[in-house]
Structure 1
């Protein structure tokens, strides 16, 4: 397979008004990297009604009964393809125009991505793992190795592994030589999951003399209960849903000091029940507070 650092551009003239994400996707696909569009929140597009709940049987490469032939972009990572006819089909072209970035299926390209979420995780990788191709992310780095393995999140604090049955954002070709997947990375997925930190964010302190809008305790209770329900009922884009809910709660209840540790714990528990880690919850909470200036 052609290495991502030397991805070839698709031959021939570019079609007019083609979104940049689509051009990138076609170049990646031409190099054997299965791609898919990612929407707001950097998550895959949701399943169409016919594919909801995997009722269609799933994509062939999902190894489930049946074979979905939906022309849309269903089944998240399993929708990733190298077929240019699919990538430029009407359903996909419409999605590319709404996409915020390009995703790809590392395992489908015989790759494994070690996703390092922060500076501490990057420092750990530099001291522990063999050097390979690296790609800068918003807060950390992607370390890309040749070879596949089972994907797993939170193998240690700030470290996720994305390979088979997973997707990653394409953030550019990166730097450095691509090296073979080391045993040290495989061992991470086989190790016992790290114990999640028990620390919770402190309840929001009152902002000066901000008036309390909660006419009765029931008003705040109802707001928190509705927020928990929104998280619990999420069927896709859980990351984005949790952040939006945290943002809404803090926007309405975060300035007068009425939110308690118990309220925050309920929100975090709902998010973790949907598969979020404590670290992701902490990040979403901190990002929401920063956006609101709290």
Structure 2
């Protein structure tokens, strides 16, 4: 490419410092998978939870594509993404880091009272607290707080200020046991096997029914794929993403009905109903707050 886009300049600098990066598209989310990788057809990359053989040269699979390799970052396969990129993300776990993402003023106040001060980076609505060390990632560990490290990405917003401390016990304690999907069978729940969203509950939605159902089904498949752990966190992420797609709709869009479908699938793979409902509710609420 003749002129290096600014996001790529940032990514190359981070890569040189040992921080794996990837481009973010409009909406500040990763680029979608190519056709060969769509719907898990490629088997996934070797470094994903379900290790697979995928060696796709494109920036597919979000955090799993993050790299420090200058040749990959500047490759023809990545060039279209950099031309469209609006921001840069990085894989904290790949850089030996953990990011406590504080999404609002209340969460920041909690961190200042509870956690040891470390390097902080201002965000649009809160702060990123960066610690040295890696751990399991989980969303909605408490109101307005996500933990991003292994198998997650965080948006690069600058180097921040302060000395980076080791991950404290208080952060590791946020990983509640209920986020680990228990074995199938014996999960008591009042959730029906399938509560269905349809157009009758979305009179004010600006999207077509096909658009909404396609997005919802893809999200449900992502939750369904987490049969060992992380289904609760995935449910949170899916709820947040889907709600964000309707931020500009006059409403109603039937978000509650979508939430019920997400909860039902999470429960079917073993997430306790109480936790599933809390994760989905937090996801819907987080998206609404960001749109406000």
TM-score bin, normalised by smaller chain? 0.7 to 0.9
Which one of the candidate residues 103, 108, 128 is aligned to 2:89? 103
Which one of the candidate residues 124, 128, 150 is aligned to 1:142? 128
Which one of the candidate residues 34, 54, 59 is aligned to 1:48? 34
- Residue equivalent to 2:232: none
Which one of the candidate residues 247, 260, 273 is aligned to 1:269? 260
Relative to 1, partners in 2 of residues 1:271 and 1:133: Cα closer, same or farther, differing over 3 Å? same
Relative to 1, partners in 2 of residues 1:189 and 1:222: Cα closer, same or farther, differing over 3 Å? closer
- Are residues 1:170 and 2:156 paired? yes
- Residue equivalent to 2:213: 229
C-alpha contact (below 8 Å) 2:20/2:67 kept by paired residues:
yes
- Residue equivalent to 1:282: 285
CA deviation digits over 1:101-157, x for unaligned, max 9? Answer: 101000000000000000000000000001100000000000000000000111111
| Distance (Å, rounded) in 1 between the aligned partners of 2:27 and 2:264 | 20
| Distance (Å, rounded) in 1 between the aligned partners of 2:247 and 2:90 | 28
Relative to 1, partners in 2 of residues 1:267 and 1:60: Cα closer, same or farther, differing over 3 Å? closer
CA apart distance, 1:97: 1.1
Relative to 1, partners in 2 of residues 1:43 and 1:274: Cα closer, same or farther, differing over 3 Å? farther
- Structure 2's unaligned 5+ residue stretches are 180-197, 223-236, 267-278
- Residue equivalent to 1:244: 245
The higher radius of gyration belongs to 1
- Residue equivalent to 2:69: 83
- Are residues 1:118 and 2:119 paired? no
C-alpha contact (below 8 Å) 1:104/1:167 kept by paired residues:
yes
| Distance (Å, rounded) in 2 between the aligned partners of 1:146 and 1:219 | 47
CA deviation digits over 1:214-265, x for unaligned, max 9? Answer: xxxx9854646938635423458944443223533x2xxx4xxxx59xx553
- Residue equivalent to 2:78: 92
- Structure 1's unaligned 5+ residue stretches are 1-14, 194-217
Number of residues paired by the alignment?
Answer: 241
| Distance (Å, rounded) in 1 between the aligned partners of 2:60 and 2:52 | 15
**Worse-superposed segment, 59-68 or 168-177:** 59-68
C-alpha contact (below 8 Å) 1:46/1:75 kept by paired residues:
yes
C-alpha contact (below 8 Å) 1:242/1:271 kept by paired residues:
no
CA apart distance, 1:273: 6.1
Relative to 1, partners in 2 of residues 1:65 and 1:131: Cα closer, same or farther, differing over 3 Å? closer
C-alpha contact (below 8 Å) 2:216/2:242 kept by paired residues:
no
- Residue equivalent to 1:5: none
Q: CA RMSD in A?
A: 2.9
